[in-house]
Chains A and B, each alone.
Chain A
Amino acid sequence: MTDVPSIAPTAPEPTLLERVNSALLTLTARASQQKSETELAAINAASDRAEKAAAALEAIADTAAEFTNRGLSCTLPSLPPAASKAVTNLRAAATRVRDSDQTDDLTGRLKGSAVQDALKAAENLAKASIQVLRNAAEAERVRLADGKDRPITNLPGRESLQVQAKRIQATLRQPASGTTADLLAAIDKWREAADGWDDVIRELERAVSELPEEIQAFVEAAASDDGAGWSLVTSTVRDWLDTSDNGDGYRMRKW
């Protein structure tokens, strides 16, 4: 006797209603999926902004402390009264995020005014603080550059001093730029340049003072934008120019 092979009962064809319901469920799943993607985008956007603002405030605080250490005074701004609830709102949002169920949709909360305003307030505060730091640094630069923006005498045999003096002038003319951390480096650079200025200028003035008066007048006039007039080219000056290649750096010109 042979075994009759068992035949698995075939599933009945789904009814139209069953197929409609299935399609509706598919639509729901699709909507849910779309919602999750929106929420994730909102979370990422809020996280990005918060992290960026926090990092900026931290850098500002650190820089402000360094300014103080370098003897610079600056007063960072506080939150404006209108954004006074920012801290509270951010903390409340963080708590909500922590305590919420995974299925809860955060999109609405994150896109709501409380979180958005708080983030905006933080971002504005960071911007205002950076501007305060930048102003403080610029004031220091102006202070250091004061009295150093003048013509540099071109004295034969002292060209290296002249170059050094011009570099210092260029450094002190360059305003602060870049990030908050770059401000500190700029201040240090300016101060180093200002410190070197006195030595260079003193050496250069000493070398000039050792020349005869006629030659001294000629050299100083020639260093100015107008140049030295023909009357200053006296025989003494001419002899000096003819000596030891002293005249190599000079050219005649007619206006």
Chain B
Amino acid sequence: VTTTPIPPCWSRAEIQNAAQVDAGGLEFADDASDAVFNAVHQIVPLARLGEGRQEQPVTEDDVLEDICQQLNSNEPLIRFITGKVGTGKSHLVRWLATAVPSSDRWHRVYIEKRDTSLRRIIEQILAGIDTAAANSLRASLSHAATQVATVPEAMLAVLNQLHQMVEFDDAPVIAGQSGADLAESREYAARLLGDFTFKKQLSVAGGPIERIVKLAMNGHGADADVRPEDLRFDQTDLRVDPDAFADVGSEFLTKIRSLVSSQLRRTEVAAIIDYYMPRATAAVVTGGGTDLVSAFADVRRELARRGKELFLFVEDLVLLHGIDGHLAQALTVPARRDLCGIRAVIAVTTGHLDSRYDTFADRGVHYTMDVRREDINLGDLRTFVGRYLNVGRVGRTELATAARLGMGTPNKCTDFYGRGDGPAQPCPFVDRCHQTFGTTAEGHGLFPFNASAVDRLIQLASPNGFSPRNILRRVVREPLAVAEAELATPGRFPSARFAALLAPTRTAVPIVIRDTIAKMSANAEAEISLRAFYAANPPSIDTGLEAVAAIFGVQLTDLGDDAATPETIAPQLTTVVSTTTVDAWAAGKILPRDDAAKIRRWMIDALHVRLLNHPHGLAVSRSLNVIRIASTDINLRHVVVENGAGGGEEPAELAIRFTQGDADAVLLKGILSAGRDDLVGPNAGRWFFDLQARLAAWEQEIVDYATPQPVGQIEAALTVLGVLSSVDDRPRTTPAEAIAVMIRPSRPPDLHPEIKSFLTHDRVEKQRADALTVVRDRLTQRKSTGDPSIFDAGAVLRELLPASRKNEIPATGAGVDTLMWRTVQDRQTAAAAAAWAPVKKALNAIIGQVAPSEDFAETIQAMDRFVDRANRAGIFRDPDASQQYRLLRTGMTTANIARLRQLLKYQDATVSPADLWQLAHDPTQMLSDMAAFWKLCNSLLASARTPEQSSSQSTDVNSRVRLHNALRVLADRLEGQAKR
């Protein structure tokens, strides 16, 4: 077998197009889409539901004949294609629409799934009809579209419509509620819907109203599932956040509480909302005055006039949510002389035709597509996949060309390679490819799958019934996308991403083997995938698998005994399912409480044994499942099993952790088997040694933590005590004062939170406790046999004062390398950085307003004068400016300015751990106020209106001369009159 790789031979875009979630994604009445549709179409089993829902097998042709039969009565011919989501209902409707012979007698209306809003559906029904009712309906639609152009507008309109309907409609029975019960529920629901906060809660992004309104306005995306439940309103949609109603009245709050706490209450309210939701949505999206029944009658009259029948194809009845009631009513009206006959083929999800549609449903014949996968033989399923693979290789254009030329669907492997450049040639890899990967019965190559892989993937994608949608998604689209990305690199495909959603841990390969391969193979992921999916009998190697691996460039590992003795070997195609709880855990499930508890207990037992035999010299004791080593407790919580039930809250430190995956799964299997006295366990007991290494590391961590640090140096302990008592501002002028402060430092009540956090941090408190222990052990003596009670500071008398004045751990010293020092130093450094960050930010804000070099006091005094005079002159634009200034000015005390000046020294400096204590009293608020003050100063200076230049000039000389003369002359006149 040659190892030359085979390149991807398909186009991702073509695969994506062909394998959309269903036929509804393909554009209707488009040549290329039709060619793709015909190329992938495959007959699937169908059944007609008879009396008592008895299934009677039929073929597609039977259905086609049925819907095309001569109408012998006036009753509408209605055919329902039912089936679960993704069973191909739309596909069949589309096939029927294309297979129905062309006839002038039929006016066809085809309602697609893709991007179909309520408005578009009605417009499609009215297409080509120009009557008064139809035009009125169109106008109503157009008006509605302009009234509610956006989703938020439509949501509000729907909620308001709902409120009105719930409050004033008089439907006597809703979802089993009637009489006084319904009246009470109706009143309750109306009260809720009338509340602004409640409406906001329902209208949140991603909430139920948005979901329903978006579907009504925009329809379903081409590649989205149409799920009936998305259009329904149920009690889970009423899980509102009670905190959002904090400001409502007590009466309403009581209602909300009952809604939140009672599922029964929610169910009742949801049923009422769900009952009115379609009408409310339709009223808003299509316009309140829409009368589909009348317009539909117009359509039928017009068609009767033209001598035609209406042939209606609906890809999914769910799309009609909101107008389905009208449509059902319209479709059940018998033909008359003036009303045309009706044929309708309607796909509908099983269960959607509930009691509300009884009349409608009873009028039609039901075909079901809910067939069991076993009813389709494997060959047909491979053919199903093979056709899509071929379409992905040939492409829409070639398919459309072939269809136009009247040719059958070409096979890219054998017919079309090199087309256009000469005679048809087969693919150059075809012989080796088909020999290695195989073909379908129609000759389509299965590359990059082989038959086993296709069968296994289909089984995983469609485990129960036949779900073509899932097969297309999980078997065709996603694995091919992975293959296209990975095939270029030998040894990479098929990686863990291959079929990742189907079998994430590739359980066909037992955990132990996966773990072994992971440890031994250079291309472990690809090998595991190959063994899991491509092997005839996973995980064993066969010749077919070897050939595939060679082409993919994957080296298969010789597993020796492991491969010879796998835990579980599936004898047939069926993928191995999880055989143990640990297998399931490795596959992403929760490890059950019992097993998790056994593992935790076993680990505690093992640790206890190790601690007892370890020469660490620490006191070890055990009480039930709690091990006490020195002063440290280890219990079951310290054995953390990811996604394992029970166990309690994970501790912050000293835990051993088992992560969900193959490697740790092997260890857990070993632990559980050891618990059953099977000491060998998986992988021939190698797990035990791996686990011992983990246990040893865990034990060492615990011992390191629990061991009192070797603070042989009393100076180191005193230094730590001194540093940690730095916040105490009591005097330390004598050794007695120093020791008193260090032993029992007081903390100011307004201590900075970061400092408080630092001082109360577990590790720091432990170091302080250790330091106190050292002091007690070294500097105290006991009377007789009593506890140590006499402090003897003689040996450290000279060190006490310097140590008490230390405010950071020195870079050099007797205890520099101790854990105690490092811990305190690291934490203090971190605390200083955290505490100074906001302070520096505030200082920056101040510097942005006033230069640090300025004399703050003088500037403030000048500002005082300015504000006073400017206020009196009335030049501030803001009348409250002066008041604001006075308010902020109160914080600019001499003491605060001095504090600011002091802090500014640190602005450009690197903060040292000792600087932490500068912030014992948190200055952030003060600085923030100061920044606001200086900002206000600048703002006031900028906002003061510039005095307007007066047009009149200052007193001139002429005015004074005039005055002088006038006064003098007047005096003369007076004097003259007196003389007369």
Contacts and interface: CB of A to CB of B under 8 A. Distances in A.
B955 A16 contact: no
Given A47-B963, A94-B967, A86 B974 contact: yes
A151 to B, nearest CB: 45
A11 B832 CA distance: 39
Nearest to A75: B980
A19 B850 CA distance: 11
Contact of B977 (A47, A50, A51, A60): A60
Pick the 7 closest A-B CB pairs, nearest first: A30-B947, A50-B966, A36-B954, A57-B973, A94-B967, A90-B971, A20-B862
A12 to B, nearest CB: 10
A15 B851 contact: yes
A117 B853 CA distance: 59
Interface residues of A, number: 54
Contact of A64 (B850, B859, B971, B980): B980
B862 A24 contact: yes
Contacts, number: 158
Interface stretch (B464-472, B573-581, B864-872): B864-872
Contacts of A106: 955, 960, 963
Interface residues of B, number: 49
Nearest to B942: A19
Given A19-B941, A29-B947, A33-B950, A54 B966 contact: yes
B354 to A, nearest CB: 77
B975 interface: yes
A33 B947 contact: yes
A122 interface: yes
Interface of A: 13, 15-17, 19-21, 23-24, 26-27, 29-31, 33, 36-37, 39-40, 43-44, 46-47, 50-51, 53-54, 57-58, 60-61, 64, 76, 78-79, 86-87, 90-91, 93-94, 97-98, 100, 102, 106, 110, 115, 118-119, 121-122, 125, 129
Given A24-B862, A26-B947, A51 B966 contact: yes
B973 A24 contact: no
Contact of A125 (B938, B963, B966, B977): B977
A102 B963 contact: no
Interface in B860-918: 862-863, 865-866, 869-870, 873, 875
Contact of A102 (B952, B955, B978): B955
Interface in B831-855: 849-851, 853-855
Contact of A33 (B869, B870, B954, B980): B954
B967 A16 contact: no
A61 B973 contact: yes
A40 B955 contact: yes
7 contacts: A27-B869, A37-B950, A54-B966, A87-B978, A91-B967, A94-B965, A119-B970
B971 A94 contact: yes
A16 B850 contact: yes
Nearest to A123: B970
B966 A98 contact: no
A43 B955 CA distance: 9
A61 B979 CA distance: 11
Interface in B926-980: 934, 937-938, 941, 944, 946-947, 950, 952-955, 957, 959-960, 962-978, 980
Given A46-B966, A90-B970, A17 B855 contact: yes
A184 to B, nearest CB: 18
B311 to A, nearest CB: 83
Nearest to A105: B955
A16 B965 CA distance: 50
B229 interface: no
A64 to B, nearest CB: 7
A90 B974 contact: yes
B817 interface: no
A27 B870 contact: yes
B833 to A, nearest CB: 31
Given A27-B870, A46-B967, A87 B975 contact: yes
A53 B964 CA distance: 14
B854 A54 contact: no
A20 B970 contact: no
B966 A87 contact: no
A46 B963 contact: yes
Contacts of A29: 947
Interface of B: 849-851, 853-855, 858-859, 862-863, 865-866, 869-870, 873, 875, 934, 937-938, 941, 944, 946-947, 950, 952-955, 957, 959-960, 962-978, 980
B459 to A, nearest CB: 78
B850 to A, nearest CB: 5
Contacts of A39: 955
Nearest to B938: A16
A238 B655 CA distance: 157
B971 A16 contact: no
A20 B950 contact: no
Which of B866, B934, B974 is the most central at the interface, judged by chain A CB atoms within 10 Å of its CB? B974
Contact of B957 (A20, A57, A102): A102
Contacts of A23: 866, 870, 941, 944
B952 A40 contact: yes
Given A26-B946, A50-B966, A20 B854 contact: no
Given A17-B859, A29-B947, A125 B974 contact: yes
Contacts of A121: 974
A91 B947 contact: no
A46 B978 CA distance: 22
Contact of B973 (A26, A40, A122): A122
Given A17-B862, A47-B959, A54 B970 contact: yes
Contacts of B963: 43, 46-47, 50, 94, 97, 106, 110
Given A16-B851, A39-B955, A54 B977 contact: no
A94 B971 CA distance: 9
Contacts of A15: 850-851, 853-854, 859
Which of A39, A98, A115 is the most central at the interface, judged by chain B CB atoms within 10 Å of its CB? A98
Given A23-B870, A78-B977, A47 B966 contact: yes
A54 B976 CA distance: 11
Given A27-B869, A47-B962, A90-B974, A61 B968 contact: no
Contacts of B976: 57, 61
Contacts of A97: 960, 963-964, 967
B492 to A, nearest CB: 61
Nearest to A100: B960
Contacts of A115: 967
B851 A20 contact: no
Contacts of A53: 970, 973
Given A16-B938, A24-B865, A33-B947, A54 B954 contact: no
Which of B862, B941, B970, B973 is the most central at the interface, judged by chain A CB atoms within 10 Å of its CB? B970
A90 B966 CA distance: 9
Contact of B959 (A24, A44, A57, A91): A44
B948 to A, nearest CB: 9
B787 to A, nearest CB: 64
B560 to A, nearest CB: 81
A20 B859 contact: yes
B960 A43 contact: yes
A189 B960 CA distance: 44
Contacts of A26: 944, 946-947
Contacts of B854: 15-17
Contacts of B938: 16
Nearest to A90: B971
Nearest to A115: B967
A51 B970 CA distance: 7
A57 B483 CA distance: 121
A46 B937 CA distance: 44
A41 B484 CA distance: 96
A181 B952 CA distance: 37
B858 A17 contact: yes
A93 B967 contact: yes
Contacts of B858: 17
A61 B962 CA distance: 23
